[in-house]
Structure 1
Amino acid sequence: MTHASVSPFEVAYLPVERAGELRADDEHLLAAIHYGDDRTANSTLSAHIAVPLQPLGHAFIEVWRSHERVTRGERDDVTFSHNEHLLMGQIIVSEDDYGDLDAATFAAYRRLYSFARKQGFAHPLRVWNFLPDINGRETGLERYQGFCQGRHGALQTRATTSQQLPAASAIGTQGGHFVIYFIAAREPGAQVENPRQVSAFNYPRHYSPKSPSFSRAVVKRWGASAHLYISGTASIVGHESLHTADTLAQVDETLSNLDALVRHAGSQHALGIHSVRDLSLLKVYVRNAVDSDAIAARFTNSTVAEIPVMILHGDICRGDLRLEIEGLYMGQGAAD
């Protein structure tokens, strides 16, 4: 069993030049997430997840490492690994099998929740969605709206309420399959909303016929330790996109949103975290690759300069948003 003061896993960014350090026989490796053309991936590594987004700037492998031995396998079209406390899974969806993204998403999320429940990890904490052409049109809707409809429908069949939603990101890729990966636990986390933003599940219907079904963040306690999983966050205040013609202003607004969320989570859940600068890792998705140098420079001269950051080339769910930032905190949390 995991010691009460230690979380069951940790996450770090490993430079791709050190990919050789990842071993197929590593019994503590939950996942190694590779971004880009995948030339650094170890094809014998069953814990490998490939995300078709190109790194901008320095390239990293995202390494999830367990403090306990890990069990790995594939079942019900889900590739998975788990320790005693956490399940990590990957689903690769072929949209051609379903006709449209709405139906494909519905099926994938039904599979995700059913599989997690059967494995004894009935509470998804964080989900990542990478889908081709997120801003394209299909069956009269933007594809992101179709994705939202499918996810909403699947969660409705699980009787999931707006207070039981995982943190999530949905990012557009330039091709390939629809890729989902997720983490789930035996006990639920605590949902956190952002005081500067309307909860996504309460958005006006013109954003999507069915609301985006995710929370702004989730707090999960692991004994005396705590994690904060922050959803993809953008330059949105209330429910409206701001600074649509100014990339760096969107960076600043997004960091303000993250700071407000972190402060709210820290005070609401007695976490050892007080501002955005206390986060452990950041990941930035950038719509236009030419903006990446300016964004990286802004980070270097901001309050988050000391936080490891990965920058990736990906489309954002709204066409007027130029970037999205997600975060992770791994640290201490006082007992409830």
Structure 2
Amino acid sequence: MAQASEHLQVQPGLLRAPRVTYRMAAPQTVLAEPGTLAAFGFGAGASDSDDPRWLRVALECFDAPAPVELWQVDAEVSRGCEGAVRWSAGGGWLFAAVELDEADFGGIEGASRQAYTELRRFVGARDESCVLRIWNYIADINHGQDDAERYKQFCNGRAAGLGDFFAHGFPAATAIGHHDRRRVLQIYLLASIDTGHAVENPRQVSAWHYPRQYGRTSPGFARAMLMPARDALAISGTAAVVGYASAHEGDLDAQLNETLTNLEALLATADMPAGFDTLSPLKTYVRHPVDAPRVRDILHQRLPGVPVLLLHGDVCRRELLVEIDGWRYA
């Protein structure tokens, strides 16, 4: 884990973090640029491409037209498909993605198990086997009660598929519910030839220590991950959780303010500069569309100039109304 007492210094000789930006562009334009490792469109209106580096994420953007999210590295990029895994690699970095129809695997738990089994096998055979960051997009994430809730079933399947692959530490991660009518599980990740530095939030209990009420299988993720050269912090999905409990149920403003406080705590623990700037892209997931204008207004006030992608997505706990993840560059 990163130690708060260490002074953040970019480590020479290690990999420079991929540059993550949002841009208004067609997929064929960004995919043709040198060093493009991955590109993402959002919602049903996003273009299609058979390039393995392109993924249409099943989350609708509240701003239209939606920008493309772009990952770029300082190297030539190769790409391909292996089984259900689509991948690209360059300069010591790896993007890998899996999309599975739950109906083919008996539901969310089976699809999650299969997806993580395939990712584990693929990444484990690569030189870029250090998984630093994962995104999970799940249909109807909050449906079901108690242990039958779909998010908890997803966590069971993920753990079964991974086995002991993360025995030495979890990556940063996001798990958000999408509203696509198809129950498709989307998972993608960023891995490297070098290890990162996991960061926990002193205001929160680590996810793998959550009490039994949050599922038979605890969520497995770090709150954030410093990239190998310590030049960027990849921030996990962050919401109004204090200790292990959700805070401010039913109060959007208070939840958003608590979330921003948690983000600042992560930056401080990682010895990153306080606040976010124009090079710090964030995603904000909002449960209820009616809340999107208020969230946008607060973020414009609190994070002026910061690029924020505002998406319709359900947080993994049904009482939570908003979640934020993203990047902070040194």
Q: What does 1:288-303 align with in structure 2 at a 5 Å threshold?
A: 288-302=288-302
Tell me the alpha carbon deviations over residues 97-132 of structure 1, each in whole angstroms, 9 at most, x when there is no partner. 221212221221121121012122211100000010
Name 1:12's counterpart in structure 2.
21
Q: What does 1:51-70 align with in structure 2 at a 5 Å threshold?
A: 51-58=57-64, 59-70=66-77
TM-score, normalised with respect to structure 1? 0.88
User: Is the 1:10–1:330 contact (alpha carbons within 8 Å) kept by the matching residues of 2?
Assistant: no
The 1-side partners of 2:196 and 2:135 are apart by: 17
Q: What does 1:179-194 align with in structure 2 at a 5 Å threshold?
A: 179-194=186-201
Runs of 4+ in 1 over 6 A off after TM superposition: none
- Please tell me the root mean square deviation across aligned C-alpha atoms, in Å: 2.0
Letter in 2 for 1:171: I
Name 2:49's counterpart in structure 1.
43
Secondary structure of the structure 1 residue equivalent to 2:267: helix
User: Is the 2:147–2:215 contact (alpha carbons within 8 Å) kept by the matching residues of 1?
Assistant: no
The 2-side partners of 1:137 and 1:180 are apart by: 21
Aligned pair partner of 1:99 in 99, 106, 118:
106
Unaligned runs of 5+ in 2: 1-11
User: Is the 1:173–1:314 contact (alpha carbons within 8 Å) kept by the matching residues of 2?
Assistant: yes
Name 1:280's counterpart in structure 2.
280
The 2-side partners of 1:248 and 1:132 are apart by: 26
The 1-side partners of 2:265 and 2:146 are apart by: 37
Secondary structure of the structure 1 residue equivalent to 2:212: coil
The 1-side partners of 2:50 and 2:155 are apart by: 34
Secondary structure of the structure 2 residue equivalent to 1:276: coil
Name 1:234's counterpart in structure 2.
239
Name 2:314's counterpart in structure 1.
315
Aligned pair partner of 1:165 in 170, 192, 203:
170
Q: CA deviation at 1:48?
A: 1.0
CA 1:6–1:90 in 2, change beyond 3 Å: closer, same or farther? closer
User: Is the 1:30–1:70 contact (alpha carbons within 8 Å) kept by the matching residues of 2?
Assistant: yes
User: Is the 1:30–1:65 contact (alpha carbons within 8 Å) kept by the matching residues of 2?
Assistant: yes
Name 2:267's counterpart in structure 1.
262
Name 2:205's counterpart in structure 1.
198
Secondary structure of the structure 1 residue equivalent to 2:285: strand
Q: CA deviation at 1:265?
A: 0.9
Letter in 1 for 2:49: S
User: Is the 2:48–2:56 contact (alpha carbons within 8 Å) kept by the matching residues of 1?
Assistant: no
The 2-side partners of 1:5 and 1:186 are apart by: 10
Q: CA deviation at 1:158?
A: 2.5
User: Is the 2:88–2:95 contact (alpha carbons within 8 Å) kept by the matching residues of 1?
Assistant: yes
Q: CA deviation at 1:160?
A: 2.6
Report the identity percentage: 36
**Which one is further off, 190-199 or 170-179?**
170-179
CA 1:47–1:196 in 2, change beyond 3 Å: closer, same or farther? same
Name 2:9's counterpart in structure 1.
none
Q: CA deviation at 1:139?
A: 10
TM-score, normalised with respect to structure 2? 0.90
**Which one is further off, 98-107 or 251-260?**
98-107
Secondary structure of the structure 2 residue equivalent to 1:153: helix
The 2-side partners of 1:289 and 1:52 are apart by: 16
Q: CA deviation at 1:251?
A: 0.6
